[in-house]
Amino acid sequence: MLNYIWSGIVVLSVVCAALLGNTRELSEAVTDSGAQAVALLLKLAGMLCLWSGIMKIAQESGFTRLIARVFAPLLRRLFPRLDPNSEVFGSISMNISANLLGLGNTATPFGLKAMRGLHLMSGGGDRATDEMIIFVVMNTASLQLLPTMLGALRQSYGSKAPFEILVPVWISSACALATALIITCVINKISSRRRRI
């Protein structure tokens, strides 16, 4: 799927640029994109390495197990095949708590660790498991409780009530998350039933 979307974007961009006469801008973008990607990766690298280090402490000290216990009632329903005492379960819990606190950059390293755990559990391969899909989809819906960056941005652009959007944001995130989880779980159920037959 990503193959088609990626190549679709590239082809569409080039065709549009040719039709609209933006070929110079497009060429500049090609040269630019490499440097931009490296800049983004460097920014990511600092966070990734730092929080991977902190995560290791959290794991060895049993902190993740504590967090996992908090989320266990909820997560056991979403991931019935996972052992609540496993390392993966802990990584998923850390990812969720970082997301809720609005620490997006922190959540990513935890999430990548959880994905590697899920991959190991499935015995490798190139096919996404039901658990991976649920986890990734949860991360593509915004779980943040207090969007501080957004509030700060609104304030700096002259909003009289920067956080008036809070309730709509919660409702909207909750609806998005519900949609994603319902679709995922229904398709998971259907495909596992088909496999059994």
Partner 1 sequence: MDFAMPVFATVIVIFGLVRRVPVFDCFTRGVLEGVAVLRQIAPSVMGLVFAVQLLQSGGAVDFICQAVTPLADALGFPAEVVPMMLLRPVSGSGSTALLVSVFEKCGADSFAGRVASVIAGSSETTFYAVAMYYGCIGVTKTRHTLPAAIAADLTAFVVSVVTVRLFL
Query: Scanning residues 37 to 96, which ones bind partner 1 (CB under 8 A)?
Result: 37, 40-41, 44-45, 48-58, 60-63
Residue 27: count of CB within 10 angstroms of its CB: 11
Cα dihedral 129/133/139/142 (nearest 10): -160
Q: How far is the CB of 101 from partner 1 (least distance, A)?
A: 6
Q: How far is the CB of 77 from partner 1 (least distance, A)?
A: 17
Q: Which stretch binds partner 1 (CB under 8 A): 1-9, 68-76, 84-92?
A: 1-9
- Phi-psi region at 146: left, alpha or beta (left = phi > 0; alpha = psi -120 to 50): beta
Distances, alpha carbon 18 to alpha carbons 4, 83, 189, in Å: 21, 54, 46
Report which of 67, 53, 126 is spatially closest to residue 101, judged by C-alpha positions.
Answer: 67
Q: Site mask, partner 1, residues 94-133, x = CB under 8 A?
A: ----x--xxx--x-xx-xxx-xx-xx-----xxxx---xx
CA dist 52 and 193 (Å) reads 38
**Total residues in contact with partner 1, by rule CB under 8 A:** 100
Q: How far is the CB of 76 from partner 1 (least distance, A)?
A: 21
Q: How far is the CB of 82 from partner 1 (least distance, A)?
A: 16
Q: Which stretch binds partner 1 (CB under 8 A): 73-81, 84-92, 161-169?
A: 161-169
CA dist 144 and 131 (Å) reads 21
Which CB sits closer to partner 1, 75 or 134?
Answer: 134
Work out whether the CA dihedral 151, 74, 187, 110 comes out positive or negative. positive
Please identify which residue in 9, 70, 76, 83 interacts with partner 1, judged by CB under 8 A: 9
Please identify which residue in 16, 76, 85, 189 interacts with partner 1, judged by CB under 8 A: 16
